[in-house]
Amino acid sequence: MGDRKKIAIIVAGGSGTRMQSAVPKQFLDLAGKPVLHHTIAAFVQAYPDMEIVLVLPEMHFSHAESILQAFDTLPAVTMVQGGETRFHSVKNGLDTVSGDAVVFVHDGVRPLVSATLIHTCYEAALSHGSAIPVIDMKDSIREISGEKNMAVDRDRYKIIQTPQTFLSELILPAFALPYDPLFTDEATVVERLGQPVHLVAGEESNIKITKPLDLTVAAALLF
C-alpha cells in the first residue's frame, strides 16, 4: 500500500473536574511542559511528516497556540473546535481529512505514548485497515446484575487505549453515520459498518491522565 499521509487527530476537550483543578488537565504541568505538549511531541517525533489536527474547545485555542509556539520547529497543526460528545469532536477533526491517509485518533491526555506504539499502529493499519492498542486486565472483575454479582474471566477482556488507528477509507464513512450513544470509541463506530477491528499490543506506560495520582505517575515514568 506504500507510504501514506499520516494524520493524528488529538482530542483535548477535558475540563479538569476529576483533577480537582481549575486548569483543564491537558494544560497541567508535566515535567516542566504542559501535558498536551508531550502528546503532540510524541507524534511529531514518531513521524516528522505527521500532520496534527488538534480538537479542543474554541476558548482554549489561544492556550494551545502558546503551547505550539514553544516547539523549536512549529509542527503542522490545524485547530478544530470540539463538539458535544467525543463522537462529534472526532467527526469535526475528520472533516479536515482528505485523500488517502492513516488516521490516528488519540487522547490529548495520554502524553507518554511511544514512537514504537505509533509505528506499530501505523504498520498494522496498513496491513489490516485498523489498529486498536489494548493491554491485559490485571485485577479480578465481577459482573453486576441487579442485586446479584458474579466473577468473570478477565482473560476474555482487554483494556482499550489510543491511538485508535484506521485507514481513511474505513473511518471517514463510519463517521458519516448518525450519532448513537453506544459509540464509546472510534472502534465501535467503525464496527457499526460491519468492519472488524484489529487489536495490537498497547503499553502499560501509555496511561490516561484523569486524576491527580496519574500526573504523579506520569512524571515518574518520564525519568
**Per-residue exposure over 170-200, b if at least 16 CB sit within 10 Å of its own CB, e if not:** bbbebbeeeeeeebebbbbbbeeeebebbbb
Q: What is the pLDDT of residue 123?
A: 97
Residue type, 101: A
DSSP output for 77-139: EEEEE--SSHHHHHHHHHTT--SSEEEEEEETT-TT--HHHHHHHHHHHHHHSEEEEEEE--S
Task: Provide the grid cell at 138.
Answer: 490485571
Under 8 Å between Cβ of 137 and 154: yes
pLDDT in tens, 158-199: 999 999 999 999 999 999 999 999 999 999 999 999 999 999
E strand segments, the chain: 5-11, 29-30, 33-34, 51-56, 77-81, 101-107, 130-136, 141-145, 148-152, 158-160, 164-167, 199-201
Determine the Cα–Cα distance for residues 221 and 223; give it in Å rounded to an integer: 5
115-to-1, 77, 125, 202 alpha-carbon distances in Å: 21, 18, 15, 12
* pLDDT tens-place values along the chain, 223 residues long: 667 899 999 999 754 444 455 688 999 999 999 999 999 999 999 999 999 999 999 999 999 999 999 999 888 899 999 999 999 999 999 999 999 999 999 999 999 999 999 999 999 999 999 999 999 999 999 999 999 999 999 999 999 999 999 999 999 999 999 999 999 999 999 999 999 999 999 999 999 999 999 999 999 998 8
pLDDT in tens, 9-25: 999 975 444 445 568 89
Determine the Cα–Cα distance for residues 34 and 48; give it in Å rounded to an integer: 21
Provide the whole-model pTM: 0.94
